[in-house]
Structure 1
């Protein structure tokens, strides 16, 4: 038993750097909800751009709705599919979905979220009908706290999407991207290879199958691509059900046909129900708009902007907010001007603001990532604006750090924040600088996953200077303080301060011997001293964890100092930071597993 655990330990520790084999085709395993059935982290990089193929189905039949479902950038989706951002797709049109694929606990995934509807009250239906097999019921069970037999309308699910990054060998052979493709009736390896203009050999190798293996409808293959896919270069699939089956495949094919019939029937039921629901919602919205008071009528320019929002943002009436917050009762108060509101079965946070939020709402409609707090809607009433955000149950990171927590948990929070910034800098279109990152603006959900909030000072990356220096003391980069210069490295600097807070448990500005001191200055002074190692150990807050974890905490501290270098060009990018933190996390997991093996 000990040797078995040791073998498992060795596999986990070395898979990030030593495994060169391709992904294994999972056949019908994803239909069995006992396993995650995601692709393992055997690629050369811990994260990459990847692609999925999704077929348009009502209500997910437009650029906006599909982008919202998949948490991808609508502008990128429109560009790669050669359409405008207002396009409505015909039924069953194949859409290429660009996603940010990252390694998470030994498995690659792109993460999105989904609110359960009355027609999708099982993980199986969500994975195989709503997300068309691009997720798996097993991975949904592992990613969410809800019992699979007790799902209710309105629950928000985290949805891991199946994706992968190329291995070292694939990259050497010219593969730059992997695309996840769901097979349909009539698909064969030869046909799929022909559709994507790749060789049969590369497709077989990418999925570790041979020509004699059977591939099944409703399962996925990874398509190795030398360049980004283009919808104009992909042959549109025709539905050609097989007219006959060989004896060797009759049994397996019959099972696939039965599953297919069940899927089609279930989808028709969902489609009819969705049409009914959408009709009811439309009539309710129409009546509500007719009854809006004069104070609730939005400015014409903002109404025009709403029509072009890239993610569905709801316009609430003030009466809806009053009902949800019990007229902004004290018992609903969270902090500052933020209240907890109950909207049907969902809890949202309602934030009152005295400034025009058009710019912020317009920006938040363009971004959609699991590590950024999501805006669901807004309202204008008299001279005040109200923003309706997702509710973050565990509050701010600043409050959470008042207690001691495990190093693994803190490193995961750092990875979450880094991924959020990486998306803002590299994947949002246009790219943005948050410009006010601090532990008060990092919120934690019920699963202690971190999300960045408060985008009131955010700027487009090409807005290089700010004439008004505004921010939080202890977090502002020297070039911003000196000349108002804004680049992505401003966020990198602030993130370095957050890393120090995560490791030490101290605020960015703390009191020492009756005087205020910047945390960065204190750590830098220690690192420049003669007894740097012993003194830095005294600053790091590990609580009751064993001393063996100290080496990994010191690695994080050193990474934070790199982030806070005075020369902005010497600071790492968020891509480099994510890679460094993921490596530390894997090493820390290996240490923990090794402890139990011993």
Structure 2
């Protein structure tokens, strides 16, 4: 290569590196974040305007931001979740904001499904109204090619946000609302609109604010918008309106005089008839009140049904009278456990779960899953009078795994090792399905023995998706779950991934091996120091394992090697570092290799043998 060519390519390389560095600096706004901020992560809000034609209802907007309609209507001061919105009607939408260490900037990850003609630029500027930039979208989706997007593809859009620092919290700043600065805006009008002030806005955002920049508005409480906004009439329109009012009043006065004369002439007849009908009218009034009550219930039911309109095609909607009749008015005699009742609808026995109206997210998840190791939802019912929702599930005859391991039932047979291993594989198969075969992935978040039900053939089914999360790699401030099963990273940082289900599954394996509960009466968790069980020589391992094992299994004289292999899987699942835990695919593969699986595996005659024996 000639020297001139070498110089030329060297110059191009340096220019490219410099250009990339400048471009990278422009991807995210200039303000940075720190992971040790007071409220990191935090719950905050973005200001959004309803836009025609596709985003003039809460249903589409709530899907866009992955929140429920109620979560938007309440802070936005809307009286209903079903009424259509006006163009540019202001909304406050809740998001979870966190500081990303890779980009040193705070944003909320929202998953968007690509539609025809979508581009990163179009979705960023129009759909998300400049709350992010297409450069930021490219940065957080490095594996996607912007010019080769596929319809139906999931793309993460980082919505810019900010959490209050320690000083701001001390100054009663509870939220920093993300707002896109418009060309006709000024800081005074923005401050007045949100109940803030110019100095606070400058302290947070600086003075160099350009149109379409995302700025952060410090507030101590959520501002209350007057909904809806009414556009004032022009002077000419006001004059026309006054003229029409005068004409209307004149006509109305003339008609009123005529009617008054007519009324006086027939008042005697009317009074006489009223006396005769008084008794009849009292009864009619009672009927009207009853009808009004029915109409009110009908409207409330209509609003509730609108929330689950996407699910109506898949599930049967039962009448509330059917549910009440099936459970004898929710009699204690029909109670299974907690708020779950059993009852016959027609000739079929069902499990009916009574809950307050918060089942929308659960129904959205359940309509996407269909697997033999998940309890099947048959339908639901809504009671508009008390706002309750009733989920109607298939009835699983043999109750929960918890009751079998803890001998809650009288005359209950003891679970042998092969049955326990088969239960473990059933649960693993169910988790593998929701982790690998649903889009987006589903995290159950509450895997435990009381949420694992056993049918008439002692096959396991995962139940209760009340805490399930569609999509993972999210961060939440609202920690929920059952003590003894909660993964350390979720408890400490609120990180939601499929690996938290893997951790909980490891605890279930320990319960199958030991017959003990996940947490004892003293509050000590079962998985503590479990990693030391398989340390030492072979004899030492077997001795330690026997000290852990359920006496039922020792009396059965089952294969110690098979139990040891399952214990190894449990220890792998219970690694404190989630990246070191195996996937459910690996777990299913490992458990199915067990020599203890040389038996007829299902009622359909599927024979499962160890891979080594094939």
TM-score range, shorter chain: 0.3 to 0.5
Q: Which TM-score applies when normalising by structure 1?
A: 0.47
- Bigger Rg, structure 1 or 2: 2
Which structure ranks higher in relative contact order (CA pairs < 8 Å, sequence separation ≥ 6)? Answer: 1
